[in-house]
Chain A
Amino acid sequence: MRPFEYQRATDAGQAADLAVAGGRFIAGGTNLLDLMKLEIEAPRRLVDISRLPLDRIEPTDEGLRIGTLVTNSDLARHAAVRRDYPVLARAILAGASGQIRNKATTGGNLLQRTRCYYFYEPSAACNKREPGSGCAALDGFNRIHAVLGGSENCIAVHPSDMAVALLALDATVETLLPDGSSREIPLAELHRLPGETPHIETTLEPGELIVAVVLPAPIGDRQVYRKVRDRASYAFALVSVAAVASMEEGRIAAARLAFGGLAPKPWRNEKVEAHLVGKEPSPTLFEEAADLLLAEARGHGANDFKITLARRTLCAVLAEACQGDK
């Protein structure tokens, strides 16, 4: 671990300020500290935001505003979340372990870094860790890697479950910039695809602090989160699907679908959703949706199976979301 300076932020504005040059926020620390031990992250300064008063869940006119320091555990057990956004509660509970969820925060979860094996092995080539060094995963052991959205420079997947649910719920991220201004970033625009610069993972500016995540009213009460993984618990998603839908007179009135385990960012493809809307659910329709989702999917050997798996999981999730006539 590289020596670093530690500062406890007293308010959000000061935190953003402290983090501008070479500083890093630390919230739950469950991801950052592991990376610092391996010197994959080596900030000169840690800005501890964990005591800022950003840990509240408040109702808004239509939805919810979730402070960035709300822990994953608290968010998953919140009554309004369980009632109106069950897909979120389920996604969170499908992630990590009880101990980690007790520490992990909303903002930290969104900004956790990939679990690519080679990223975690300092002696391996990795463009994300060391730009320009190559990508050991491309023709290596890439069983957990992306089949969508990757580039020849990086095929790592974003590991968060929570982010997948938030994406299906049309969440927005509220931030504070070091100059004191704030902005709202739709979750779909928070993460970037690797392209030529896999080490740049988000659209946040240096020192930009996530303050809250805002949820609009859900578009439907048919909500499903399905995570497919190697163990019954405590394993990252190989494929995950979050679905939020509503039905009217036997037809799909609205649908939001987001995917984990498939791409370098929580994945959404609006064409898939558009194709479903207004139609009667059927296995054929679901297969068509999967065709659209996976049209450009590409395996790299060990992860080829994810394409079949994503197809089958999507169809099963759609069937579940559309079943019954409530």
Chain B
Amino acid sequence: MPTHVMNEALGETRLDKGAQGLIGKPLDRYEGRLKVTGKAPYAYETRHGEGVAYGVVVTAPVAKGKVVSIDTLKAFSSPGVIHVLTGDNLPTNSAQPSGDKPAIGGGQIHFYGQVLALVVADSFEAARHGASLVTVECETREGRYDLDAERPNAKVPPPGNMPPDTARGDFERAFAEAEVKLDETYRTPSQSHSAMEPHAAVAEWQGGQLTVHTSCQLVGDNTRQLAAALGIKPDKVRILTPYIGGGFGGKLGIGPEAVLAAMVAKEIGRPVKVALTRQQVYQVTSRRTDTIQRVRIGATRDGRITAIGHESWCSNMAGDDYFEPIGLSTVFLYAGENRLITHRLAELDVLMASAMRAPGEAVGMLALENAMDEMAEKLGLDPIEFRKRNEPDRNPEDDKPFSSRHLIECMEEGARRFGWSEREARPRARQEGDWLIGIGMAAASRKNLLAQSSAEVRLEPDGRAIVLTDMTDIGTGSYTILAQTAGEMLGLPMDRITVLLGDSALPESSGSGGSFGAASAGSSVYIACEALIERLARKMDCAAEDLTLKDGTAVAGNRQVPLVELLAGEALSAEGTLQPGNATKDHHQASYGAHFCEVAVNAVTGETRVRRMLSVCEAGRILNAKTARSQCLGGMIFGIGTALTEELVIDDRNGLLVNHDLAEYHVPVNADVPQLDVVLLDKVDRLASPMASKGLGELGISGAGAAVTNAIYNACGVRVRDYPATLDKVLEGLAEGGGRQ
């Protein structure tokens, strides 16, 4: 099987030559028509008809304690109820993406809302009513719900996405001696992914073989997690997840609903559907941690950073040592001889904390980029100028070269287009009626990741190609860019390509997470196609590099042979695998960008409304200008939510996630999102992957929220360091006369 290990840069490829002209084109989504005509079903909408049973989850009414008894009698006698599943071995919530399987309760309650039982009935309504009749008796114990209170007990976690501590030079000393200093603490709350499609699974056994329709991001890992939770071999499990209504990290680990559906389907010998209610999606899947972040920057009077420190505290439930890599970007974004980046993890009796879109950057850059703005002001420097003065030429952590880095270009391009030069450095300089107008910017960076990924590409005798991989499309555009890649490589128009995804029976891919999907899965298709091209070249009697494929025709020298003729009734198939290699180790790889934002802050009420926003993004080769733009827009909107509205409130008396529905957990709505603009700098980073593209899906969110709060400061002189900047916090500053010069 052709495998490419990413040890060094490839030279020019067919993707550069662009014979078919597909790569980079703003093509519509491959599955777009299905989606807008309602023909791309959610997991729950599969397997209709006779014999299907419905399960509804029963959750814990307290956050900590021991389950004494669960009374299921009433539920059992309720009409339509078939079965009530209880026991110490039920999954409590979603699996950690890197975990073997979901945690189990073991007779204990670990957080408010934990899964305790599943009521199964002939209809969803009967199951839901049955679930309300289950009563739980528990011995309640005092729990820990407040990160601030637990901060002194926080521990050094084992290495995760990054080491907990990164240090260089003597930070404390350099900071103490710095001519200009900033020392501020920022807070971000817990957040919930809030994908459109709630978690759901439909499980059916045939003999010892299990099929599960569900909505998940990492088919390979999720198949193994599900098998492990059930105590069976992974090859007995088939997961199907062709269309996914959003994930944002909330579907990286297998959800409890999939495990429960499979468990109970086996017990009752019927297919079972389990959907979490919207409230339960908030309560029993996972959340983004709350954070406390202390940022210290020391600089010379002319604005050169001599010391940069980013110490952070986050939370997770007992026994889970995943920590949010908050300081990921602080490691490499700015120069400075003396550096200290630390992560501490506190135990809370609250739902598991896990990855949510741009884990690390999404919250870490709020603090860092806010601090950079504050420091620029102290130094009397323009925020962009301050960043430019601290542009490193190598990774400041270990002096390794950058594979590519265009941060300054992003900032300059953005500044020019946004009209940055008209910005008044002084807050409260612009007012229109009751509205104070300000603009702000922030840098964006997202560490680039690559993951092992395989795909099969088949050339059918009729000259069509089929791409097969268990890769997922969580709304990101995977279908489209994989079709474009195969089409470009094999010289076929889009309508000659079929892409099959989201099926664990297909070659295992990277899955969708960490913005690695397009480069990783795309490369596997590239590699498979290269193998096919070799074989086509042999048939043409030429060297592969002398073969051009375009519009279904093979061209070598002055010979042109239609593919169909060349194949002569034979199908060709190849599987390609990409493996990360030394290129990642020898170079520092990241995507970069710059966000610009204009806000209006109401001088009476403290309400903030974003008026316009621009992000300039650089992520290597852009594979599809339209889906890439959409990814950036989505990230920017996440940024607006992070800055202004999103907060999963934990009741610090009892651990209840208070606002667990979409009415009160405020994601931005259309009216909060004005005209957004995205400019993509189309570059190539050949060290990143054979696709020469870097991660893009999470770049748009990284730093975006800081551009918003920096703009708030510029508008009204109120610096909110406790996210989100809801009107009560801005109002407090306004009422105290904040920023009145």
Contacts and interface: CB of A to CB of B under 8 A. Distances in A.
A232 B653 contact: no
Interface string A114-157: 01011011111000000000001001110110000000000000
B669 A305 contact: no
A238 interface: yes
A13 to B, nearest CB: 31
Nearest to A314: B604
A305 B653 CA distance: 21
B196 to A, nearest CB: 15
A309 interface: yes
A21 interface: no
A231 B607 CA distance: 8
Interface in B120-146: 125, 128-129, 132
B45 interface: no
Contacts of A305: 728, 731-732
Interface residues of B, number: 36
Contact of B605 (A121, A124, A228): A228
Contacts of A1: 125, 128-129
Contact of B651 (A120, A141, A228): A141
Interface in B469-525: none
Contacts of B315: none
Interface size class on chain A is 35 or more
B577 to A, nearest CB: 46
A82 interface: no
B664 A309 contact: no
A147 B351 CA distance: 32
Contacts of B670: 233
Most B CB contacts (10 A, CB to CB) among A97, A143, A232 go to: A232
B434 interface: yes
A233 B128 contact: no
B732 to A, nearest CB: 7
A102 interface: no
A18 B128 CA distance: 27
B584 to A, nearest CB: 41
Interface stretch (B205-213, B231-239, B417-425, B654-662): B654-662
Contacts of B664: 115, 117, 144
Interface in A226-246: 228-236, 238-239
A65 B656 CA distance: 45
A305 B607 CA distance: 13
Given A117-B658, A228-B727, A238-B727, A3 B649 contact: no
A141 B648 CA distance: 12
Interface in B626-666: 645, 649, 651, 653, 656, 658-661, 663-664, 666
A308 interface: yes
Interface in A26-49: 37, 39
A313 interface: yes
Contacts of A97: 669
Contact of A230 (B656, B658, B726): B726
Contact of B609 (A115, A232, A235): A232
A188 to B, nearest CB: 26
Nearest to A302: B728
Nearest to B663: A115
Nearest to A239: B605
A183 interface: no
B659 A117 contact: yes
A141 B668 contact: no
Contacts of A120: 661
A164 to B, nearest CB: 16
A78 interface: no
B713 to A, nearest CB: 20
B349 to A, nearest CB: 15
Contacts of B606: 309
Nearest to B113: A123
A232 B727 contact: no
B232 to A, nearest CB: 34
Contact of B668 (A231, A308, A316): A231
Contacts of A51: none
B129 A233 contact: no
Most A CB contacts (10 A, CB to CB) among B125, B607, B653 go to: B607
Contacts of A77: none
B158 interface: no
A229 B658 CA distance: 18
A279 interface: no
A313 B607 CA distance: 11
A313 B727 CA distance: 13
Interface in A207-252: 228-236, 238-239
Nearest to A97: B669
Nearest to B653: A140
B671 A309 contact: no
A141 B649 contact: yes
Nearest to A37: B128
B401 interface: no
Contacts of B731: 305, 308-309, 312
B132 A39 contact: yes
B651 A140 contact: yes
Contacts of A234: 669, 671
B61 interface: yes
4 A-B pairs with least C-beta separation: A233-B671, A123-B61, A232-B671, A305-B728
Given A238-B727, A312-B605, 5 more contacts: A140-B658, A143-B728, A228-B727, A309-B728, A313-B604
Interface of B: 61-62, 79, 125, 128-129, 132, 434, 604-607, 609, 645, 649, 651, 653, 656, 658-661, 663-664, 666, 668-672, 726-728, 731-732, 735
15 contacts: A1-B125, A39-B129, A97-B669, A136-B651, A140-B651, A140-B653, A229-B607, A231-B645, A231-B671, A232-B669, A238-B728, A309-B605, A309-B606, A309-B728, A315-B604
Interface of A: 1-3, 37, 39, 97, 115, 117-118, 120-124, 136, 139-141, 143-144, 228-236, 238-239, 305, 308-309, 312-313, 315-316
